[in-house]
Structure 1
Amino acid sequence: MSALGDPVRRALYRFVSERGRDVGRNEAAEAVGIQRTLAAFHLDKLVEAGLLEAGFRRLTGRTGPGSGRPAKVYRRAREERSVSLPPRDYRTLALVLAETVDLLGGEEKAEEAARRAGERLASVAPSGDASGEAGDLVEVLRERGYEPYEEEGRIRLRNCPFHVLAETHPVLVCSMNLALCRGLLAGLGETGITAMLDPRPEECCVAFGPGAISQSAASSKNNED
């Protein structure tokens, strides 16, 4: 991860990651306030490090003669990277536990545990203002790595923190993720927002929109530990 040691390079990586689409050199340079040539240098270094992927696309939207040459564009790499010192292997254990739940038919209990986990996350979340907006929710989601963004009145999640597990156990993991998010809403007291399954390619399966929290999520706080 030494490639992110440079503050300019780190800012470029963050900008490209948060866009969730192809980003050209001009756009990236303008966003972080540097020259295009310097942005190109750092972006290509991030590609070499495996943190970004590069391709070529016409940014004007035009095709055919006179449409210009395709521009080099960048987006966050799909490959997952993590650093652990000393080495740890939580991924393998998580996969084993997910398979155990499947074998035992424990999906309902797993969802209940996920709801409680969401409530615990809410209990340690920093207090927001008294505006009644979803600021607390967005902040907690951001801290947990979901990368929330707003679109057409909904809060969508650009990143799935459980992507590796979701690929191998999609039904179990997505249902647990939904339960966790509903528990988070209940714990935060967000009665005007609901969590729902609304999957998109390369994004989290859960989205948030206007509505009431499900009774199971709202009442889970009263369950015994």
Structure 2
Amino acid sequence: MDHGRSSPDLIIFDCDGVLVDSELLSCRCLSEILSEFGIALSVEQALELFLGRSTKAIEQHYRDLGQVVPDGFLPRLKSKVLTTFAASLQPIPGIAGVMSDLSVPFCVASSSDIDRVALSLDVTGLRAQFGERIYSAQMVRHGKPAPDLFLLAAERMGVQPSRTLVVEDSVSGVQAGKAAGMTVWGFVGGSHYRGCNGRAILSGAGADRVFSRMIDFWEA
């Protein structure tokens, strides 16, 4: 699909960093909870290592380093993230307007757990836009950067990958969308991209287009 010449038959939105401005909040939570378990990880390192990745990827990272994350880590992290999101999470500016104007089907496909995605959409007033069209890395064997999640979403929505547009904010998400044979737009309007060249990062990962404001969504 050439984004400059035709419209997609389906748009798949990532959640964190695309629909909701959550990446800094979640990485701060991760840094704080790992510290409680004696593992040092700065917010900047968390963004670099785990942006767009699942909790499985976090555990695997430390397993590969020979560090076993204690059993209580994931429940503690989940509790911290949900509490923080309920108190502080904001939608990406302009995203509600983009979705209300869409004339093609759309859904969300996220590396986060279903309950975290649901809370994110509820807190920011976006849940009604998606209904049950929510897909999570919990539903597939391999999370991003593997294409599995996006391919599942397209299959469930009844659309060919080549006619699907993915909107992503992470390298792993861009790579997953391209591996699925989809057009991918990189979004760098989240607060986690302040002070760094997100355009270069996502273009380098293979994004077909990179933009920073939702009001420019359809601007080629």
- TM-score scaled by length of structure 1: 0.29
Structure scoring higher RCO (CA < 8 A, sep ≥ 6) equals 2
